[in-house]
A = this chain, B = another copy of it.
Amino acid sequence: MSTLTEHPHPEQIRVAVSTVIFSLRRDPGDDRARVVMPLVRRTRDPFEGRWALPGGWLGDVEGMEAAASRTLAETTGLAPSYLEQLYAFGDVDRSPTRVVSIVYWALVREDESRATAQENVAWFDATTHPELAFDHDHIVRYALWRLRNKVGYSRIAHGLLPDLFTLADLREVYEAILGRRLDPANFRRQVEGSATLIPTDERRGGSHRPARLYRYNHDVELAERGPLPD
Contact = CB atoms under 8 A, between A and B. Distances in A.
A6 B59 contact: yes
How many subunits of this chain does the assembly comprise?
Answer: 2
Given A15-B10, A100-B102, A102-B88, A230 B64 contact: no
Contact of A229 (B6, B74, B153): B153
Given A15-B15, A102-B100, A152-B223, A90 B190 contact: no
Contacts of A187: 227-228
Contacts of A70: 3
A168 interface: no
A226 B57 contact: no
A100 B151 CA distance: 30
Interface in A1-24: 1, 3-4, 6, 8-16
A109 interface: no
Contacts of A203: none
Contacts of A9: 59-60
A222 B227 contact: no
A196 B64 CA distance: 38
Contact of A4 (B14, B64, B74): B74
A69 to B, nearest CB: 11
